[in-house]
């Protein structure tokens, strides 16, 4: 990759650019996932009357904060990506990270629960567009044949956040308040602005891109099946992840201080799974997709059966994180394969799909808890979600195969 008036980037500069993109992903992982470990603190602070009468109901209601962020991603990813495709990529990335910084500060300072929900929605709008455009930049820097690994490198910031950032910031929030935790996340975004500005090379947008062409991806059935597969699959993951804190304390019987360690374990699994998923996607997207779903179902079943014991909780949280995270670069690469010329939109809307899953999983997990089925019930919700996820992946495969056959017939004619 080279800029218009410069020599090709040195390996060191390329690595720094990739690290800067991953740092932005680290901030996004922190801002998205830190709420999972701080739901009790958020509920206690912002919903005091409900908390005093029914803590379970307050925690379930506080899950709306997670759902609001997810819905912001769903709305923002296609909207921003459609209009950003023509613009220089570094400029767009900088604008998106500045928006993250402002939105996260506003979330930390908002005085009421409705305002926190609103600012979490607004802070999430740049999420999908950042990952989509950063994935395209990373793929360009990595070179041909390494798209999956480029996507995985950008996403590695998000997964590493779950190993290091989320547990540490969760601990900070437990000690100093959830608002301080979000201010720490805003500081990460401010650092990301500087890193991207200094290291990421100038890259033009696509001068041929138009809103109509980008939106043309939605005329392709295979795109819809890929998006639905990601949404349903990740609903299962987020049904579990959203309620890790009460799962660890109420089902396994661990102290609150163990919650960050549960998040570290989940994050380690996500980091490994993301890298394996990117590697596997470059060697066969569909094979990687179905293998990930199979392992995911097995890990969820193991968690459901063994979560009352600490060893079972930690072993299978690691496995759930690894299998679910492997799905992300796989589905991202699948979307880029089936989206034709609409690459910017395809790279971004994957995160809309995953965050529909985030919102759906948080909602369904909260619903079964509020219904009195206990904190283990979201794990069974996740397991059931694997069934439609696999069926949708099979349907998308069939649609693509049929389209390929029609194309071959047309060429032969």
> What is the DSSP annotation of 252-264?
S---GGGHHHHHH
Q: How far apart are CA 328 and CA 183, in angstroms?
A: 28
Where are the domains positioned within the chain? 11-407
Question: CA 302 to CA 299: how far, in whole Å?
Answer: 5
Rounded CA separation 81/100 (Å): 16
DSSP 219: G
pLDDT 10s per residue in the chain (413 long)? 334 434 467 778 888 888 999 999 999 989 988 887 788 899 999 989 888 888 888 888 888 888 888 788 888 888 887 777 778 888 999 999 999 999 999 999 999 999 999 999 999 999 988 988 888 888 788 776 676 677 777 778 877 887 888 888 988 998 999 999 999 999 999 999 999 999 988 877 666 666 677 777 777 888 888 888 888 888 899 899 888 888 999 999 999 888 888 988 988 898 899 888 888 888 888 888 899 999 999 999 999 999 999 999 999 999 999 999 898 888 877 887 787 767 677 777 777 787 788 778 888 888 898 888 989 999 999 999 888 888 988 888 888 877 767 766 665 55
Name the architecture of domain 11-407: Up-down Bundle (1.20)
Using DSSP, state whether 314 is helix, strand or coil.
helix
The model's pTM is 0.73
Q: Residue 62: which H helix or E strand, with range?
A: helix 55-62
Task: State both tokens at 51.
Answer: 């908390």
319 three-state secondary structure: helix
- Note whether 330 and 289 are within 8 A (CB): yes
């Amino acid at each position: 990759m080279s800029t218009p008036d410069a020599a090709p980037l040195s390996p060191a500069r390329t690595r720094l650019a990739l690290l800067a993109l991953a740092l932005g992903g680290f901030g996004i992982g922190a801002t998205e996932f830190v709420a999972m470990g701080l739901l009790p603190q958020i509920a206690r602070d912002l919903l005091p009357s409900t908390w005093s009468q029914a803590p379970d109901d307050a925690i379930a209601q506080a899950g709306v904060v997670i759902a609001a962020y997810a819905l912001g991603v769903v709305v923002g990813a296609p909207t921003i990506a459609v209009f950003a495709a023509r613009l220089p990529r570094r400029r767009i990335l900088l604008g998106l990270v500045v928006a993250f910084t402002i939105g996260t500060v506003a979330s930390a300072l908002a005085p009421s629960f409705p305002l926190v929900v609103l600012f979490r929605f607004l802070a999430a709008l740049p999420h999908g567009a950042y990952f989509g455009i950063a994935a395209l930049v990373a793929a360009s820097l990595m070179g041909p044949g390494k798209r999956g690994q480029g996507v995985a490198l950008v996403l590695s910031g998000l997964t590493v956040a779950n190993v290091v950032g989320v547990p540490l910031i969760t601990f900070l929030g437990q000690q100093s308040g959830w608002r301080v935790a979000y201010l720490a996340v805003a500081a990460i975004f401010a650092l990301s602005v500087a890193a991207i500005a200094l290291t990421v090379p100038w890259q033009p947008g696509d001068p041929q891109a138009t809103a109509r062409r980008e939106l043309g991806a939605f005329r392709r059935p295979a795109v819809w099946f890929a998006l639905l597969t990601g949404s349903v699959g990740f609903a299962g993951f987020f049904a579990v992840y959203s309620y890790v804190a009460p799962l660890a304390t109420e089902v396994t019987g661990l102290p609150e201080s163990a919650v960050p360690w549960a998040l570290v374990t989940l994050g380690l699994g996500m980091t490994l799974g993301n890298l394996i998923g990117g590697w596997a996607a470059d060697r066969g997207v569909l094979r990687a997709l179905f293998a990930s779903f199979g392992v995911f179902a097995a890990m969820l079943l193991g968690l459901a059966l063994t979560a009352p014991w600490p060893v079972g909780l930690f072993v299978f949280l690691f496995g759930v994180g690894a299998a679910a995270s492997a799905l992300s670069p796989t589905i991202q690469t699948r979307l880029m394969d089936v989206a034709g010329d609409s690459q910017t939109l395809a790279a971004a809307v994957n995160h809309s799909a995953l965050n529909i899953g985030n919102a759906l999983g948080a909602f369904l997990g909260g619903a079964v808890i509020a219904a009195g089925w206990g904190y283990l019930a979201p794990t069974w919700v996740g397991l059931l979600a694997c069934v439609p996820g696999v069926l949708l992946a099979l349907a998308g495969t069939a649609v693509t195969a049929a389209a390929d056959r029609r194309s071959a017939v047309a060429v032969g004619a």
